[in-house]
Amino acid sequence: MTRVDVRKTYKLFIGGKFPRSESGRTWEPDGAQGTNVALGSRKDLRDAVAAARGALGGWAGKTAYNRGQILYRLAEVLETRKASLAEELRGSSRLSAAAALKQVELGVDLLTFWAGVPDKLQQLLGSQNEVSGPFFNFSTVEPTGVVGAVAPDAPALVGCLALLAPLLAGGNTVVLLTSEDNPLPGLALGELLAVSDVPGGVVNLLAGRRAELSPQFASHRDVDGLLLAGEPDPALGAAASDSVKRVRNVELTPAAWRRLDTLCTLHWARPFVELKTLWHPKAP
């Protein structure tokens, strides 16, 4: 009897579940080798934002040390899936086996770095401020909230992780639009997230057309910030200004996306944390 191959179906990852697009649309990205991918819609984005908002209190309320433990667990899961994920990346990206494995290992190293950051953000970004008067004055670090992220077309896997990890380290929840050219590695992260300790809704993964979904990120009033890979788009900035949304663009060369020292610096996390100032009277 001839065996029938079971082809993998790449679905979205929203609220800890794997829905197909509510629109029923699919598309076959370049290099997908006959694999259909759910094409995310504006309704999927709204569902993902609602899931992220619902998970924000629980994620931000965890201790910074616990968030670091969870990110480290995600690095462990990625390490155990290293060979299969590299093969998946090689097949969809036309990379050599060595280049695909190197990208996955870079992703593991990147997550390991950011796993050590959450419980140090207060010391690195917060401060005790000098004031004139009988008061203590402290600036403490808090997350921005729900952040939308749009990954670069390449590198497909590291590009997603480079945006996700610093946002999660800062206590934010994330809705991430994966690479339009090669969404398969980004969507495969959903399978790792589902078996790690990351609570449902903290990370939500969409695949779709950047031109269709990016304006929805910018105009959505329940998205608190937007992190975009690529050059600034004045139209997105104008749409985001209606809700006073913070927008940051990451413009890196292909070589810079492959360097750990470029991806593991605090300037990735700093724009998406807030400093709250507290006053406390000194004892007489």
* Domains of the chain (ranges, CATH numbers): 26-281 (3.40.605.10)
Q: Does residue 49 surpass a pLDDT of 90? A: yes
Q: 130 falls in which pLDDT band (50, 70, 90)?
A: confident
Paired with 128 in beta bridges are 138
Closest CA to 156 of 52, 10, 20, 282: 10
Mean pLDDT, residues 251-265 taken together: 92
Mean pLDDT, residues 9-24 taken together: 92
Contact 182, 154 (CB under 8 A): yes
How much is the pLDDT for 87? 86
List pLDDT tens digits, range 261-278. Answer: 999 999 999 999 988 877
CA distance 26 to 19: 12
How much is the pLDDT for 194? 93
Distance set, CA 136 to CA 128, 140, 275, 284 (Å): 8, 13, 16, 12
- Residue 104: which H helix or E strand, with range? helix 97-115
Q: Does residue 85 surpass a pLDDT of 70? A: yes
Q: Does residue 33 surpass a pLDDT of 70? A: no
Q: Does residue 249 surpass a pLDDT of 70? A: yes
Hunting for tokens 């910030």 — which residue is that? 225
Q: 61 falls in which pLDDT band (50, 70, 90)?
A: very high
Alpha-helix residue ranges (DSSP H) falling in 196-231: 210-219
Mean pLDDT, residues 136-165 taken together: 92
Reading the block at residue 248, the tokens are 């940051």
Q: Does residue 125 surpass a pLDDT of 70? A: yes
How much is the pLDDT for 284? 66
Sign of CA dihedral 195, 11, 145, 227: positive
Reading the block at residue 156, the tokens are 């497909």
Contact 45, 68 (CB under 8 A): no
Paired with 225 in beta bridges are 147, 246
How much is the pLDDT for 26? 83
Any idea how long the chain is? 284
